Amino acid sequence: MVFSVTILGSSAALPTSQRFSTSQLLQAGERSYLIDCAEGTQIQFRRFHLPFGNLKAIFISHLHGDHVFGLPGLLSSLNLLDRKEPLDIFGPAPLEEWINGHLKFFAPLSYPLHIHCATCTDMTAIYEDKRITVGCFPLQHRIPTWGYLFREKERPANIRKDMIRLYGIPLREIPAIKAGADYRMPDGKIIPNHLLAFPPVQPRSYAYCSDTVYLERLPAMLRNVHLLYHEATFANDQKLRSAETFHSTAEEAATIAKAANAGKLIIGHFSTRYDNLRPLLQEAQAIFKNTEAAEDGKTFEVKQPSRPTSDHPA
Amino acid sequence: MVFSVTILGSSAALPTSQRFSTSQLLQAGERSYLIDCAEGTQIQFRRFHLPFGNLKAIFISHLHGDHVFGLPGLLSSLNLLDRKEPLDIFGPAPLEEWINGHLKFFAPLSYPLHIHCATCTDMTAIYEDKRITVGCFPLQHRIPTWGYLFREKERPANIRKDMIRLYGIPLREIPAIKAGADYRMPDGKIIPNHLLAFPPVQPRSYAYCSDTVYLERLPAMLRNVHLLYHEATFANDQKLRSAETFHSTAEEAATIAKAANAGKLIIGHFSTRYDNLRPLLQEAQAIFKNTEAAEDGKTFEVKQPSRPTSDHPA
């Protein structure tokens, strides 16, 4: 089952012709989840051939234009496409007030829209479906801002049908084998569980941290996360400007990734002053080698580990 | 002096990766004017290397998302670019209420924003600066919708400096010569005006009609317009759907252009059902030959006629 993040926008406040502002699509199996929704998000769906129909929920980090100005267009296009399935949107207040204030000027939507603006002072579970769970956690920016931790649900062991047939095991025994039991043959011989079932799938995880100052408390919350996105609006040459605007440098993003023992780091939300991202990437990689730069249209897939235990059991 | 229209978006309600929704930039000399502002308009400015600094005013046809959802991002980016000059926006109510309701959730703008929502029941002068005058006129769509007629201001004759020097004409005579007077030399010889000045520049004009049903009264208002944009959401194969949704067919757009004796017709606002625009173009050209299809990034320039009288003296 795929578990991947596609970058729909990687620029900071000002979009460029190459980089739209922030938005990402998380895909978990056949389902997709939008994270932030900058202007042009629906156009990026078209451009990168991503389907609208699989979208289950939208997670908004904060109410700055470069993270939400694509919502009116996306919600409206889902209406034109005659969506019927309810859509959930999560994010800090006053997201609900802004969306509802906007919607009353336009045609009613063809689908129920549920906007959730709970408070978030620590890691808080806010969403769950059959594929994933989502927690939000507070970041520190100029206005209330949330990060999100997406985690696949653990799935039971997969039965090896060939072995079940080979040993003639009756169907009623399957649930116990899925739960890890060995099987006793009629002659008393024990068939160990690992011959009868593939091990349970290890849940993969993705953490999204944008926009924020460097936060020392993040790594403990995101320990062993497989894939980490952390904003890196600036390089160290703009450390003062970064602090003034409540953003992070590439070095700070990498420091978080290292301390969290992340599998991989994606940096993004780049200031338009950086035509060339090499300095940001070098700065980050000096601290955390497995760093890549976000790029519109690029997909980062977290592969299913082949064994039940992993270096990064988030 | 340039007088041109650049298409920033040519799709109907749903943008595609090739066609953004409706937005156009009119350039008159060093000044530019935005007509409608679909999602991604600011990105098209970047993509087509159009400057933000020359933007004098924005003219909105109606409050449907595919004509206004780029406004929040554009207004916000002008703020980030630290614009100081006031900006005027025109359009039917409730444009002002929608923009103000939206703006209160975001940082105050660095520039004064003046939103004008007058009523418009006939051709009404609503804007004037040193380059152009603008009139709005009612179209007929599902909600109140305005068309716009942009007209260059007449400019006085240009003095031929070489001839002024040749005849040793004193500066105090220049205003009279600009106004069309001949010059009497000290020896009584008359120098005719056409030797002393280039003829006055003939004002060029552009009319914008989107979205609307076919309106028989339009040609009389737009008589001899140099460049006409008229929506053609559908071809004749969708005549019923066109009428139901208060749109026009390519044939109807061409009929308007022909009856108005327009110089050239641009059709646009194409339904996404038309991958290939040839049928729409052929349908229009059968009635009005000088028809072109809008295309994102394409500029239509109205050339300065070389003589004071023209076939199209709008």
Residues of B in contact with A117 (CB under 8 A): none
Contact state of B72 with A65 under an 8 Å Cβ cutoff:
yes
**pLDDT for residue B154:** 84
Mean pLDDT across the stretch B140-159? 92
How far away is chain A from the Cα of B92, in angstroms, using its nearest Cα?
13
Residue B307 burial (CB count, 10 A): 7
How far away is chain A from the Cα of B204, in angstroms, using its nearest Cα?
32
Considering only CB atoms, B69 lies closest to which of A14, A16, A73, namely A73
Mean pLDDT across the stretch B183-198? 92
Judgement on whether residues B67 and B123 belong to the same structural domain of the protein: yes
Judgement on whether residues A21 and A104 belong to the same structural domain of the protein: yes
pLDDT exceeds cutoff 70 at B219: yes
SS3 A116: strand
Considering only CB atoms, B17 lies closest to which of A43, A70, A80, namely A43
Residues of B in contact with A40 (CB under 8 A): 39-40, 43
Judgement on whether residues A22 and A43 belong to the same structural domain of the protein: yes
Judgement on whether residues A21 and A98 belong to the same structural domain of the protein: yes
Contact state of B16 with A73 under an 8 Å Cβ cutoff:
no
- Summarize pLDDT for A241-287 with one digit per residue, the tens: 999 999 999 999 999 999 999 999 999 999 999 999 999 999 999 99
Q: Does A17 touch chain B (CB under 8 A)?
A: yes
**pLDDT for residue A107:** 83
Pair of tokens at residue B302: 């109205």
Judgement on whether residues B205 and B254 belong to the same structural domain of the protein: yes
Contact state of B15 with A47 under an 8 Å Cβ cutoff:
no
Tell me whether the omega of the peptide bond preceding residue B313 falls within 30 degrees of 0, making it cis: no
Range A156-164 contact pairs with CB under 8 angstroms and sequence separation of 24 or more: A156/A200, A157/A193, A157/A197, A157/A198, A157/A199, A157/A200, A158/A197, A158/A198, A158/A201, A159/A196, A159/A197, A160/A195, A160/A196, A160/A197, A160/A198, A163/A191, A163/A195, A163/A196, A164/A196
Nearest to A198 by CA among A34, A33, A84, A308: A308
pLDDT exceeds cutoff 60 at A309: no
- Summarize pLDDT for A75-97 with one digit per residue, the tens: 999 999 999 999 999 999 999 99
Strands across the sheet containing B113-116:
B113-116, B87-90, B55-59, B31-35, B23-28, B3-9, B299-301
* B306 within domain boundaries: no
Q: Does B301 touch chain A (CB under 8 A)?
A: no
Which residue is closest to A142 within chain B, CA to CA? B107
How far away is chain A from the Cα of B125, in angstroms, using its nearest Cα?
27
Considering only CB atoms, A69 lies closest to which of B72, B81, B94, namely B72
| Tally of structural domains, chain B | 2
Residues of B in contact with A47 (CB under 8 A): 17
**pLDDT for residue A312:** 43
Whether B120 and B136 have beta carbons less than 8 Å apart is answered as yes
Contact state of B15 with A80 under an 8 Å Cβ cutoff:
no
Mean pLDDT of chain B: 94
Q: Which of A105, A117, A273 should we substitute to test contact with B (largest number of B Cβ atoms within 10 Å)?
A: A105
Q: Is B88 a catalytic residue?
A: no
Name the domain boundary from B167, B197, B227.
B197
Residues of A in contact with B102 (CB under 8 A): 98, 101-102
Q: Does B82 touch chain A (CB under 8 A)?
A: no
**What pTM was estimated for this model as a whole?**
0.89
Strands across the sheet containing A113-116:
A113-116, A87-90, A55-59, A31-37, A23-28, A3-9, A299-301
* B230 within domain boundaries: yes
Name the domain boundary from A174, A197, A220.
A197
What DSSP string describes chain B? --EEEEEEE-B-SS--SS--BSEEEEEETTEEEEE---TTHHHHHHHTT--STTEEEEE---S-HHHHTTHHHHHHHHHHTT--S-EEEE-STTHHHHHHHHHTTSPPPSS-EEEE----SS-EEEEE-SSEEEEEEE--SSS--EEEEEEEPPBPPEE-HHHHHHHT--GGGHHHHHTT--EE-TTSPEEPHHHHEEPPBPPPEEEEE-S----TTHHHHTTT-SEEEEE--B-GGGHHHHHHTT--BHHHHHHHHHHHT-SEEEEE-B-TT-S--HHHHHHHHTT-SSEEE--TT-EEE-PPPSSSS-S---
Judgement on whether residues B171 and B250 belong to the same structural domain of the protein: no
* A282 within domain boundaries: no
Considering only CB atoms, A47 lies closest to which of B17, B42, B76, namely B17
Mean pLDDT across the stretch B31-43? 98
Mean pLDDT across the stretch B93-119? 94
How far away is chain B from the Cα of A283, in angstroms, using its nearest Cα?
27
Judgement on whether residues B100 and B243 belong to the same structural domain of the protein: yes
Pairing of strands B264-268, B291-293: parallel
Considering only CB atoms, A98 lies closest to which of B39, B66, B105, namely B105
How far away is chain A from the Cα of B94, in angstroms, using its nearest Cα?
8
- Above 0.85 for ipTM, yes or no? yes
Cβ neighbours of residue B184 under 8 Å, at least 6 residues apart?
A: B190, B191
Among A218-227, B72-81, B130-139, B160-169, the least confident range: B160-169
A residues 225-254 closer than 8 Å to B (CB): none
How far away is chain B from the Cα of A121, in angstroms, using its nearest Cα?
22
The gap from C-alpha B261 to its chain's centroid, in whole angstroms, comes to 17
| Angstrom distances, CA of residue A59 to CA of A5, A75, B54, B234, B289 | 14, 14, 37, 37, 51
* B59 within domain boundaries: yes
Which residue is closest to A65 within chain B, CA to CA? B73
Cβ neighbours of residue B188 under 8 Å, at least 6 residues apart?
A: none
* B310 within domain boundaries: no
pLDDT exceeds cutoff 90 at B85: yes
Which residue is closest to B93 within chain A, CA to CA? A105
Contact state of B14 with A94 under an 8 Å Cβ cutoff:
no
- Summarize pLDDT for A187-234 with one digit per residue, the tens: 999 999 999 998 877 899 999 999 999 999 999 999 999 999 999 999
Mean pLDDT across the stretch B127-136? 96
Residues of A in contact with B50 (CB under 8 A): none
* B211 within domain boundaries: yes
Judgement on whether residues B167 and B106 belong to the same structural domain of the protein: no
Cβ neighbours of residue A30 under 8 Å, at least 6 residues apart?
A: A54
* B105 within domain boundaries: yes
Could you tell me the CATH number of the domain that includes residue A18?
Answer: 3.60.15.10
Mean pLDDT across the stretch B104-131? 94
Judgement on whether residues B171 and B261 belong to the same structural domain of the protein: no
Contact state of B43 with A40 under an 8 Å Cβ cutoff:
yes
Rounded distance between C-alpha atoms, residue B311 and residue B314, angstroms:
9
Q: Does B79 touch chain A (CB under 8 A)?
A: no
**Among all residues of A, which ones are annotated catalytic?**
66
Q: Does B40 touch chain A (CB under 8 A)?
A: yes
Judgement on whether residues B112 and B166 belong to the same structural domain of the protein: no
- Summarize pLDDT for B265-305 with one digit per residue, the tens: 999 999 999 999 999 999 999 999 999 999 999 999 999 87
* B221 within domain boundaries: yes
**pLDDT for residue A306:** 61
Judgement on whether residues B36 and B172 belong to the same structural domain of the protein: no
Name the domain boundary from B144, B177, B197.
B197
Residue B189, class by beta-carbon neighbours within 10 Å (0-12 exposed, 13-18 middle, 19+ buried)? exposed
How far away is chain B from the Cα of A236, in angstroms, using its nearest Cα?
22
**pLDDT for residue B306:** 60
**pLDDT for residue A15:** 95
Domain limits for position B58: 3-155+201-301
Q: Does A263 touch chain B (CB under 8 A)?
A: no
Judgement on whether residues B183 and B236 belong to the same structural domain of the protein: no
